[in-house]
Amino acid sequence: MSEFSRIPALTLLPAVDVASGKAVRLTQGEAGTETSYGDPVDAALEWANDGAEWIHLVDLDAAFGRGNNRKMIQKVVKAVPRHVNIELSGGIRDDKSLEAALATGAKRINLGTAALENPEWAAHVIAEYGEAIAVGLDVRGSTLAARGWTEEGGDLWHVLERLEEAGCARYVVTDVTKDGTLNGPNLELLRDVMERTHRPVIASGGVSSLDDIAALRELVPLGLEGAIVGKALYAGAFTLPEALDVAGN
């Protein structure tokens, strides 16, 4: 038995990003860089059939404040088998949008901008819903990005300290400069975040190869729970079964 095979498994979350009713991928999260990959339901079912236990579902239009894909999001959640969990993100900034997100049947909701701009509300939601809430930390350097990554959202370490005090259950950490680029994940950023929290961390952005997944799995003992994989899967860099094998699933 190799040393690597003794490392606990890394949970993989294939991404389905929805804009204008289509599954798309962006480059560095920028509006206007969309590449379309067809029907979101088909994409989600493909990942489910390939062995995914989680799917990371994003309403990009809601994130950018240009409408929403609520009906399509509901269709995706209903279409996947019950054993597949949905992590839902995008434009969840108040009670109304949070209730709508929870009503879809998603297992976990990611707060982004709201956790930065409305800390009292975010703390209340974290206290009320616990494990059902994760906070997305979208980072350029050590500065957080908000509003669909179009505005600055404060210092990463100050915000993380505040979220720790609020009892946040989980963080989704994205290096915005890596997202959609296939240039590899920012392992140093992930290590720095995990040094400052005992909560589980999910990595997002830049995964381009099976070697990247192996490198992320090596961080599991430090607190990395999972990794979101998007463009590499859609571009055919590897298959999801291959990735799950390397991740130890």
pLDDT of residue 31: 64
pLDDT of residue 14: 97
Q: Which residues of the chain have pLDDT under 50?
A: 1
Mean pLDDT, the chain, integer? 90
Contact 91, 63 (CB under 8 A): yes
pLDDT of residue 27: 62
- Report the 10 Å Cβ neighbour count for 143: 13
Among candidate residues 17, 61, 179, 212, the one labeled active-site is 17
pLDDT of residue 40: 95
pLDDT of residue 240: 97
pLDDT of residue 148: 54
The answer to whether residue 138 is catalytic is yes
How far apart CA 82 and CA 93 sit, in angstroms, is 27
pLDDT of residue 177: 79
pTM of the predicted model as reported, rounded to 2 decimal places = 0.92
The answer to whether residue 17 is catalytic is yes
Among candidate residues 138, 175, 179, 212, the one labeled active-site is 138
